[in-house]
Structure 1
């Protein structure tokens, strides 16, 4: 019997490279100069700032670092380099999933664009995946259609707010029926709901929502209305730029934003392409379902959350609390369990990172 720990790897989405993450590539991945050089060359060819320049800046700039064409590429590079650094003598990766943009990262890590090697530089390795994620991030930045707003469906102890989900459903329908307003569910994110909509609808939503937990409602800066019908044009442009023959069956099972599984032996690459550049761009992304299906189907002994950042950890834990995973029923249950023996390991947290990286 293998002594390796079966591990689910979760890839982060937008909003995870912030001021605290500035220099992430330099701090943790100076041993991968060939990878960064290859990505810098690809960016330079497109007339975009090099990742080494962005990551090595003296100060974090919200306007520069969070814009779609830069943020997507930075997060991809950090997450992919983290993936390459996982100690495979201790952790056996049984499945991959991700949140929103993290789906593209999961595709790249799974080998759906070609073999993943220890260096990460190969004409059939990370560069086609990087082309997709950099290209879609650029399309989103150029159009920046609508925006996103976050609001909780759980209280501060991560227990469901009675009637909270139903009230938000009703409010969404009411605002969406108003003139010039388009408002949709964008992402189910554990105990949080991410709304996507046009500016008129988001303003109405902010006016109607009661402040919660000293943070919400929270508008997301430089985010478009991802995973809503407002992204139809972006999806169409993406399909034109990235043909289906770039994909191949993954070598590691994938769980998408519906909770559907893509296995190495039975994946239809045309269907995978259509999902990636049509459905998940314009339909809600159910990260909660992805996490729940992943643990039920693959029964991982550990979950590893790739960096940068660790903001997705709460949503992962909340998703598991909803199904009573490991007996967790609240935030306190999760914290106490983590203190005894960490089950969720975030590579953006130094004390947990050292347990995973070779």
Structure 2
């Protein structure tokens, strides 16, 4: 009997020195599409996916740049997706985190490969000359992974205080399980980095990330509408869960609305990955959640969401780890 699975595509920051040569582990027939991506990259005068993945040294200033990282991360996710055994798994829904939404559109069939590449490369290259703002990440869970809502409220109040007292601009960017990603200008982020209490290595700033999913991206959204037209989109083959928790169903999706969400709200409003996973669990009750590679940086966040939903009776970090050891519910292909 096939396992019913919720497929999750990761976003920026997931391709690291530990994931170099990620694509070399796949059979040749799985990675045929990479040749096409390489050809399109060459036509743009950019580094190819093969060059980036097969290099011997990971370089932050190369591998984390939007024009390089975005399509590279998608390629790794897509290879994992194509490698799923259709005799073993039945895909019940697809979602993603942040840039992973663009990957999810392709995985779910809402865009073909060429149109999806156009979307990902265009959005990833929007800030080639200058990155607008940045992102920092900060946790708000207890040691057992349950949410500390009092702590979350304090963080959100500090973000408001940052703007009201004119320390700089800062906004909630991504709700990421027990983490809040904050986007803003460098002045605002620097103030928050000094003001938020130190917790281990938090807060820390994400390398080469812009102020994604905040009002600072409104100009990027406007440019995206000029460059990317609705006919790039088609109705999905699988249900798609977006960054608000809305489900786009195969038979009822308006491609006009999907285009509008992808280039507007998704670009300049907070991305609620927590809600997307919660909806995926409750609406589709999958046998497994499959997290595509590269890497496993989303594994902890998804685990925290599962804990706080008390899904399958998992109500703490220790019970999640015990379940993973016994019969993994979250399958991380990037490990």
Q: Distance in 2 between matches of 1:291 and 1:280?
A: 16
- Of 133, 145, 152 in structure 2, the residue corresponding to residue 146 of structure 1 is 133
For 1:81 and 1:134, locate their aligned partners in 2 and report how far apart those are by CA, in whole Å. 18
- The answer to whether the Cα contact below 8 Å between 2:167 and 2:191 also exists between their aligned partners in 1 is no
For 1:45-124, what aligned pairs fall within 5 Å after superposition? 45-113=43-111
Instruction: Report the equivalent of 1:122.
Output: none
> 1:56–1:294: structure 2 CA closer, same or farther, 3 Å change rule?
same
1:1-358 aligned at under 5 Å gives the runs 3-113=1-111, 125-161=112-148, 163-179=150-166, 181-212=168-199, 214-349=200-335
Q: 1:290 to 1:38 in 2, by over 3 A?
A: same
Matched residues, number = 335
The CA distance in 1 between the partners of 2:289 and 2:230, in whole Å, is 30
2:211–2:217 Cα contact (<8 Å) kept: yes
Residue 159 of structure 1 and its aligned partner are, at CA, apart by 2.3
Instruction: Please report the TM-score for the alignment, with normalisation by the length of structure 2.
Output: 0.98
The Cα of 1:162 is off from its aligned counterpart by: 5.6
Deviating beyond 6 angstroms after TM superposition, the runs of 4 or more aligned structure 1 residues are: none
1:82-117 deviation line (CA, Å, top 9, x unaligned) = 11110110100000000000000000011111xxxx
Instruction: Give structure 2 stretches of 5+ with no counterpart.
Output: none
Q: Which runs of 5+ in 1 are unaligned?
A: 114-124, 350-358
* Partner secondary structure for residue 87 of structure 1: coil
Equivalent residues of 2:291, 2:331 under 8 A apart:
yes
Q: Classify 1:29/1:167 alpha carbon distance in 2 versus 1 (closer, same or farther; 3 Å).
A: farther
SS of match in other structure, 2:253: coil
Contact 1:157 1:331 in 2 (8 A): yes
- Give how far 1:33 is off: 4.7
User: Which SS does the other structure have where 1:139 is aligned?
Assistant: coil
SS in structure 1 of the partner of residue 264 of structure 2:
helix
Are the aligned partners of 1:7 and 1:303 in contact in 2 as well (CA < 8 Å)? Answer: yes
Kindly state the Cα deviation for residue 160 of structure 1 after the two structures are TM-superposed. 2.4
Q: Distance in 2 between matches of 1:95 and 1:25?
A: 24
Q: Distance in 2 between matches of 1:141 and 1:12?
A: 22
1:238 is displaced (CA, Å) by: 1.1
Could you state the TM-score of these two structures normalised by the residue count of structure 1?
0.91
Structure 1 residue 155 displacement after superposition: 2.9
Moved more, 248-257 or 141-150: 141-150
Cα distance in 2 between the residues matched to 1:276 and 1:162: 29
How far did residue 171 of structure 1 move?
Answer: 0.6
Q: RMSD of the TM alignment (CA)?
A: 1.1
